[in-house]
């Protein structure tokens, strides 16, 4: 063989290897609004989620994933850039919408980093003319330039690799439009049906609520919205197959924050932070060494880990200074012991709560013990009828046990829960004398103190009254103010 032919073959081979190395997988984030582990694959009853159950059966299902905040914009502001909201000053809900705030130097939206290496980025609302997502951004920063290239699903097949985010809308819409739960929620033999998997008669609401017809109705409404969300996920998965890109696409399903219930979102209990997560790897790309399809992982994962992990899927090294660890990939970081979360001002309601969650125990630090479940939040009062119901029942002396304790005007400064023996987090063990409880309390209390210092927690500094006051007026104008509250709109 002539030398120049050998050289040509070698160059061609090198080019082929280089091309293969440069090929990157498509990535889809299916972000579920306001969802706890209420899927069939997690053992939930009275829901029908065959699409997500099948996705989990062929992928990895995570049982200990937690958001960094119990409310959407704050949580999203963290996992969209890979920095805790407390550090980036995006910890207060709906902040920085009308000022000149910019992210800290070197902190960038994940879509910008993906675009740097050739990704088309999309925030999908419709698919073939049918609504599949909310198109929601809802970030506590607005001055970072264009975040996505397109909102059209039809643009993706011809522009690979792509990163697409689809925000499911069912549970969110069911809060505002009290009729959407009447829409077809599941499919029977390929056809939509009005079958309701959950009914007020067959559901079992958590024991921190009273056993009341309204509570049962609301719980059935939520569970049926989860079944409806699964139908939407099915449409997405079928479209990937139809477009011929399923075998090139990593699918990541996770919740942005916990369940949309009165004691769920806004609060740092598991109901507000514990989210489902399923990751499915495509056939056309070598899977990471720690990816084992059809398995369940109980490692502690924070949504702050989703950012560097997703970048790793795209072949991008974890940026220096980025919070979080890579939990799935060939360069996995040290396994985390705790997931840290926080809640600060939500709308007009000022508070400061911090959470440390391990495999078993959950520690909550309430910096304002006089501001708990009964605090006024007009959105909650208007859109969650369970809350005013409980106020009425409390006034009438009809609440006892856990529901009555929830309606108490104060909460303990520290709470510790054994989530194995007390999954509803009702029995506070912070004052327990048992050695295992004292050991967990001391360790998690210390871990929080270190985290707050290392993360330079901005929640230490209260917002000035002139920032909070407009939110009070705005929420009053939107939702009104209950008669029992003395606030007078100005």
Q: For 288-323, give the DSSP string.
A: PTT--TTEEE-S-EEGGGHHHHHHHHTTPPPPTT--
Q: Is the pLDDT of residue 195 over 90?
A: no
| Contact in structure between 296 and 63 (CB atoms under 8 Å) | yes
pLDDT tens string 1-47 = 444 444 443 433 333 333 335 699 999 999 999 999 999 999 999 99
| Contact in structure between 227 and 48 (CB atoms under 8 Å) | yes
Q: Is the pLDDT of residue 235 over 70?
A: yes
Rounded mean pLDDT of 264-268?
A: 97
| Structure token pair of residue 459 | 């929640």
Strands 120-127 and 162-167: parallel
Q: Is the pLDDT of residue 481 over 50?
A: yes
Q: For Cα atoms 349, 352, 357, give the angle at the middle one, nearest 5 degrees.
A: 125
Domain layout of the chain by residue ranges: 24-334, 353-479
Q: Does domain 24-334 have CATH number 3.20.20.70?
A: no
50-64, 440-454, 468-482: least confident range: 468-482
pLDDT tens string 121-178 = 999 999 988 889 999 889 999 999 999 999 999 999 999 999 999 999 887 777 777 6
CA pseudo-torsion sign 364, 367, 373, 376: negative
CA dihedral 28, 171, 112, 319 (to 10 degrees): -80
Residue 247, pLDDT score: 98
C-alpha span between 183 and 194 (Å, rounded): 7
| Structure token pair of residue 212 | 């009341």
3-state secondary structure of 473: helix
Mean pLDDT of the residues in the chain: 92
H or E stretch at 250? strand 249-255
């Amino acid at each position: 063989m002539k030398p120049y032919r050998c050289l040509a073959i070698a160059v061609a081979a090198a080019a082929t290897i280089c091309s293969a190395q440069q090929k990157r997988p498509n990535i889809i984030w299916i972000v579920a609004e306001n969802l706890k582990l209420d899927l069939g694959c997690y053992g939930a009853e009275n829901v029908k989620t065959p699409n997500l159950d099948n996705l989990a059966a062929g992928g990895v299902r995570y049982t200990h994933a937690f958001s960094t905040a119990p409310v959407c914009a704050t949580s999203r502001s963290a996992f969209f850039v890979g920095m805790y909201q407390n550090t980036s000053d995006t910890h207060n809900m709906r902040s920085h919408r009308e000022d000149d705030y910019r992210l800290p130097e070197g902190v960038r939206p994940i879509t910008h980093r993906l675009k740097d290496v050739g990704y088309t980025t999309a925030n999908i609302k419709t698919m073939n003319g049918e609504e599949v997502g909310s198109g929601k951004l809802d970030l506590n920063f607005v001055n970072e330039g264009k975040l996505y290239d397109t909102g059209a699903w039809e643009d993706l097949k011809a522009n690979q690799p792509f990163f697409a985010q689809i925000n499911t809308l069912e549970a969110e819409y069911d809060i505002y439009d009290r009729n959407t739960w009447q829409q077809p929620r599941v499919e029977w033999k390929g056809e939509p049906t009005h079958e309701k998997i959950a009914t007020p008669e067959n559901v079992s609401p958590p024991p921190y609520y009273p056993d009341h017809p309204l509570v049962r109705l609301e719980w059935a409404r939520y569970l049926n919205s989860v079944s409806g969300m699964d139908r939407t996920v099915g449409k997405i998965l079928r479209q990937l197959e139809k477009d011929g890109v399923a075998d090139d696409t990593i699918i990541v399903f996770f919740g942005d924050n916990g369940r949309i219930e009165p004691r769920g979102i806004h609060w740092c209990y598991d109901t507000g932070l514990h989210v489902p997560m399923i990751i499915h790897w495509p056939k056309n790309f070598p899977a990471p060494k720690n990816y084992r399809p059809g398995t369940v992982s109980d490692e502690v994962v924070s949504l702050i880990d989703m950012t560097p992990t997703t970048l790793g899927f795209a072949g991008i090294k974890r940026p220096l200074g980025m919070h979080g660890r890579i939990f799935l990939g060939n360069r996995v970081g040290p396994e985390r012991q705790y997931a840290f979360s926080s809640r600060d001002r939500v709308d007009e309601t000022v508070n400061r709560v911090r959470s440390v969650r391990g495999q078993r125990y959950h520690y909550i630090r309430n910096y304002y013990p006089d501001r708990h479940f009964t605090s006024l939040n007009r959105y909650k009062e208007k859109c969650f009828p369970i809350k005013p119901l409980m106020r009425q029942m409390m006034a009438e002396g009809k609440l006892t046990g856990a529901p009555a304790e929830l309606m108490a005007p104060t909460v303990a400064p520290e709470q510790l829960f054994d989530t194995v023996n007390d999954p509803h987090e009702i029995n506070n063990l912070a004052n327990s004398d048992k050695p295992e409880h004292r050991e967990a309390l001391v360790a998690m209390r210390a871990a929080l103190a270190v985290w707050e210092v290392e993360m330079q927690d901005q929640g230490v500094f209260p917002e000035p009254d002139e920032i909070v006051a407009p939110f009070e007026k705005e929420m009053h104008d939107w939702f009104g103010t209950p008669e029992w509250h003395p606030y007078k709109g100005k």
